[in-house]
Structure formats: structure tokens, C-alpha cells
Amino acid sequence: MTRTGNWLLVLALPAMLLGCVSNPAKETQENSDPSAYDGLYDGDERIAHEAGTPSDLPVQELILRGDQAFRKGDIDDALFEYVKALEIGGENADLLNKVGGIQTLKGNLPLAEKAYRMSIALAPENAVSHEGLGLIMLGQHNHKAAGEHLDKAVILDPNRWRPMNGLGLIEDLKGNSAQALEYYNTALAIAPKSPQVHNNIGYSHYLAGNWDEALKHFRLALNYEPQFKRAWQNTGLVYTRQGNYDAALTSFQRVMGKPEAYNNVGYFCMMNGEYGKASVFLQKAIDASPAYYPKAHDNLEKLKKLKNNSG
């Protein structure tokens, strides 16, 4: 079986890496270089210009304000307080990890990467930093660097499930499903209710053709996170392989519109060699949105060529 479709796997980037580390960096004013942190704050400029943060607050008070803002969901406010604390207090690996975590949440991965690299430079034995950077590298398909950082994170703290999940993904992408499942199962032992891990275990079984086992884990993922888009997509993918196209259509429609769902089912019917059903579903995709869905037209053209070649 080919290993196409790996976009359905989940990296599970850390939502916010606020955990303690074993090697905290110093916070002395003498070593502070405010310019070193230029660009780490990229939030709402109103926050940066409003007089909400007195300039004479101690570093710990700024950190406390940032933590409170983060808990309330005000991530730009939290980011502003953390960067201000760095500018005043100087080198601090824990704070840089918090900045990296927020930038990961915001999707600003270059700034997240910068923060994590700065943290590692200060505290090389920092599991949180290696985890964050490793997952970013994995998202960039730099599997060698990702593996090195994720391995380091696991060595420093064996109880971190995200690096285990990431290492499993790397092995899956290399075709080593047995090794991948070892990593996933270790991650699952740490975080048994993680929808990301269950999704990746399911996809690993899907790649091996173990449909029932794959469905079991996709359903568990959806039990823990009912709106988990990739788990619904993967569930639909398994149903298409089983030839249960109505169930596949229902699964796809949980996370996409009718035209796209019909097109997906039609495409997989075509890949399964069921050309008659493929034609029906692709035509339904066009009928549902003739102006919007040119992809279904393209698939119909491919289908005609396959029919001609097979005839």
C-alpha cells in the first residue's frame, strides 16, 4: 500500500508550554539586552501603546500578569507582558518557552521557533524547548532535526506525550509502522484520552489495512473531541476503503460541504476501480455546486480516461 494521504495525520503542536523546566535561566538586569527580543511581540498594537503596564513593575509581577491574561484567553496581553518581562529582566528560558507556546497557538511558527532556539541556547537541557522546536521542525517536514529535538525532549522528560506522538509520526512516514505504534502506545499510556494520539494510531492501522482497528481509534478520538476534523476525514477514508460509501459520505459531511464530500467519495470510488459509482458521486458534486466545484469536473475527466484505458 502506498503511503499517500499522510496529510491526515496530526502533529499535535503544543497548545501552550508552560511547564517547569529543570534548568531555569537567570533573570539579572545586568544581562538584559532588550533588543534581543525585538519582534517576539507581534500582537495588537493597541496593547503595546496603552498605559496598562507600568514600566516600574518587577519582573515577577509582569509574569504574573501574563499568566493571568493567558488563563483568561487574552493571549496578546499575555505575550506583551512576557516580552516586557524579558526586556526588563533579561535571559529567562521559561519565559521564552511561554512566548514560543503563544506564538505556536497564534500560528506564528517562525517567531515560535526563534523563541525556542533562544531558550535552548540559554538552557540546553530544557525538555519544553526541545519539544516545541521539534514539533515545529516536524511540521516543516524537517524530520531529521525534528527527531533529534523530540528524542532529546523524551530523554530529558520521559513523561511528555507530544514528543512520543511526534516520533511515532516520523516512523510512520518512514514506513516503520511497528516502531510508530510503539511510540504511539507509549504516548497513549501517558495521555490515554488524547484524540491526537488515537487518530494517529488509527491512521497507522489504516496504512496497514487494519480497517476495524483503525475505525476503533478514530471513534475514540471523536469520543474525546467530537469536532475533530481529521478524525472525521479519516473515518470517511476507512469507509471508502471498505466500500461503505454512504457512511463515508456522512463522515465527510461532518467537516465539509456536500460538493466536496461527494467529490471525495467519487474520487475514492474511482481509486477503488468502481467507475460507475464514481461517476454518480462526481456528478452529484457538480450538481450540488456546478460553478463552485471544478475539481469534480477534473476527476470526471480522469475517470473517462481510466474507463477508456480499462476498456
pLDDT in tens, 185-236: 999 999 999 999 999 999 999 999 999 999 999 999 999 999 999 999 999 9
pLDDT of residue 37: 75
Task: From 22, 15, 194, 34, select the one nearest 103 (Cα to Cα).
Answer: 15
% of residues, the chain, pLDDT over 90: 70
pLDDT of residue 14: 46
Task: From 22, 195, 75, select the one nearest 83 (Cα to Cα).
Answer: 75
Asked if pLDDT for residue 17 goes beyond 50, the answer is no
Give residue 98's pLDDT band: very low, low, confident or very high (50, 70, 90). Answer: very high
Asked if pLDDT for residue 96 goes beyond 90, the answer is yes
Residue type at position 261: A
pTM of the model: 0.81
Task: From 91, 85, 88, 76, select the one nearest 41 (Cα to Cα).
Answer: 76
pLDDT of residue 15: 41
DSSP letters spanning 59-71: HHHHHHHHHHHHH
Cβ-defined contacts of 223-226 (< 8 Å, 24+): 224/193, 224/194, 224/195, 224/198, 225/195
pLDDT in tens, 22-39: 333 333 333 445 557 767
Asked if pLDDT for residue 18 goes beyond 70, the answer is no
**Strand ranges in the chain using DSSP code E only, listed in sequence order:** none
Q: What is the mean pLDDT of the chain?
A: 86
Give exposure, 107-142, as e/b (b: 16+ Cβ within 10 Å): ebbebbbbbbbbbbebbeebbbbbbbbbbbbbeeee
Rg for the chain (alpha carbons), in Å?
24
Residue type at position 118: M
Residue that the C-alpha cell 496497514 belongs to: 208
pLDDT in tens, 229-273: 999 999 999 999 999 999 999 999 999 999 999 999 999 999 889
pLDDT in tens, 112-135: 999 999 999 999 999 999 999 999
% of residues, the chain, pLDDT over 70: 83
Give residue 53's pLDDT band: very low, low, confident or very high (50, 70, 90). Answer: low
Task: Give the chain's largest Cα–Cα span.
Answer: 80
Q: Exposed, middle or buried, 50 (CB in 10 Å: 0-12/13-18/19+)? A: exposed
Q: Please, are residues 262 and 297 in contact by the beta-carbon 8 Å criterion? A: no
Sign of CA dihedral 297, 303, 307, 310: positive
